Amino acid sequence: MEVLGKQKVLAMMRLNGAGQLTGFPFETPSSSTTSITTPTTIIHPPATPITMSSCLLPSSAYMKPSPPSEISSPTPSSSSLEKKECAVCKNPNSSGYHFGCIACAACSAFFRRTVVLSRRYYCRRDPIGNSLCPLDRREC
Amino acid sequence: MEVLGKQKVLAMMRLNGAGQLTGFPFETPSSSTTSITTPTTIIHPPATPITMSSCLLPSSAYMKPSPPSEISSPTPSSSSLEKKECAVCKNPNSSGYHFGCIACAACSAFFRRTVVLSRRYYCRRDPIGNSLCPLDRREC
DNA sequence: CCTGGTCATAGGTCAC
DNA sequence: GTGACCTATGACCAG
C-alpha cells in the first residue's frame, strides 16, 4: 500500500523535489477559524501549530467552526454528512477532529507519524535522497 | 524443497486438474475484526477479503474468534498451545494471525505469494500446464 | 473528545 | 522458490 501512502503524503502535505517537507501544513495564522486547534502542549516537535486542514481544501468546509454555529450551506442535510467525512481520504466514517480538520483514524495516525514525528519520505530507488526521484503523482 | 511446496499448496488450497486455483479461501466476510479493515477508499486492489482459513480445517479451530471467546476444547491447557500453532504446517511457532488464521511467517509468505499475487503452479515435467500431471499428493 | 504511544498484520525486499 | 527481515499502516488504549 505504498502508493496509497504516497498519495496520502501528496494529499496531506506538500513536497518539493528533494523530498523535503516544505510549505507544510504549518498553517499561517491567516484564516481566523481553525489555524491553531491543538491546545495541548506539544513539546518534542518544534512548537509550531500543526494542522492538516490548510492543504486539503480551499474552501472552509471541514473547518471546525469556532462557535458551533449552523452551517451556512444551503443543503443542511448533506452538510451533516460532510462533517462526518474524512477531509483527506473521503472516508465517510471519520473519527472526529484531528489536528484541525475532520479526519479518520487512519489519516490522523498518518499525519501524526508524518508531521509530528517529522518523518521523511524518499524513493527507494533513490536511497540517498538526492531528489533523483521527485515524489509526485508519477510513478518513478 | 519443491515437495514441501507442493504439500503446502495442497494443504492450503485446492487445485483442480488443470492447476487452476479453485475454491479458494476467499472467505465470506464473516469475521468482523481484521479481514479488510481499511475504511479508506482503496481503488487498486480488488476489495475481496482473502483468508486462508477455510481450506484448512473443518472445525472452527484456528479461526479468529470475533469476540475473544474461550476455546471450547476440553483441554484448555493444550488449547493455548494450539492457538500458537501454525494451522498450515503445524509449526508451533506461529507469528500470529495472517490472512484469517493462525499461521507462521513462512506459510503467510507462501500464501501471499500464491494467492495475493495469483501465482500458478504446474508440474515441471509438464511445462505447458495442460493438466497432464495433476497436482495432487501423488508423485508424478 | 483528542493526542500520542503501542501493537499486530500486510506487503516489499533480499539472501540463500 | 523460500523464509526472514523490515517498514507502513491502521486499530486499540491510556492519559
> Is residue B18 over pLDDT 70?
no
Q: How far is the CA of A106 from the C1' of D12 (A)?
A: 12
> Is residue A112 over pLDDT 80?
yes
pLDDT digits (tens, 9 = 90+) for A33-47: 333 333 333 334 444
Q: Where are the alpha helices (DSSP H) in chain B?
A: 2-12, 76-82, 105-111
pLDDT digits (tens, 9 = 90+) for A125-136: 665 556 567 666
* Whether B6 CB is under 7 Å from strand C: no
Q: How far is the CA of A2 from the C1' of D9 (A)?
A: 10
Percent residues over pLDDT 70 in chain B:
31
The DSSP bridge pattern shows strands B21-22 and B14-15 to be antiparallel
> Is residue B61 over pLDDT 50?
no
Query: In chain D, which nucleotides are within 7 Å of a protein Cβ?
Result: 1-5, 8-12
* Whether A42 CB is under 7 Å from strand D: no
Interface test with B, best of A89, A107, A139 (most B CBs within 10 A): A89
* Whether A125 CB is under 7 Å from strand C: no
Question: Reduced to 3 DSSP states, what percent helix, strand and coil does chain A have, rounded to the nearest 5?
Answer: 20, 5, 70
